[in-house]
Amino acid sequence: MTLVLVALGAAFGAPLRYMADRAVQARHDSVFPWGTFTVNVLGSFILGVLIGGAAAGAVPAPLVTLLGTGLCGALSTYSTFGYETIRLFEDGARFYSLLNAGISVAAGLGAAFVGVSVAQAVWP
């Protein structure tokens, strides 16, 4: 059953990532990968809320599997982050490459922390 929940979540997360990435990137005339940055931060926030809710006993394990592992796992994308960071560096946009690496990690961790904090406020 766990595999089915992961697959169902991923079936929604992957197309959502693609559509969100394209929609965000289309609004920015920049080499910086805003679409990937956005989906990674959003996925980190959602996962933080889920984990915080699970720790409080308010979010059941199957929902964490469906939305956390499945949806967030497919929504966020470490491989694309890595590729785009290297591509920026190789294309001579070294500042953007370093900026992407730094703020992506910081924003992802920050979003997860905020998500857990939100969950703790909602489910004390």
Q: pLDDT of 9-38, one tens digit each?
A: 999 999 999 999 999 999 998 999 999 999
| pLDDT at 95 (0 to 100) | 97
Q: Does 44 carry a binding-site annotation?
A: no
Say which range, 4-8, 27-31, 57-61, has the weakest mean pLDDT. 27-31
Total of domains in the chain: 1
Cβ atoms of residues 101 and 87 within 8 Å: no
| pLDDT at 124 (0 to 100) | 87
| Cα(5)–Cα(61) distance, integer angstroms | 11
Residue indicated by tokens 């809320």: 49
In angstroms, what CA-CA distances link 11 with 2, 14, 26, 50, 71?
14, 6, 23, 19, 8
Q: Does 35 carry a binding-site annotation?
A: no
- Model-level pTM? 0.93
Q: Which two tokens stand for residue 120?
A: 């703790």
The domain containing residue 56 runs over which residues? 2-122
- Taken in order 72, 33, 35, 11, is the CA torsion positive or negative? negative
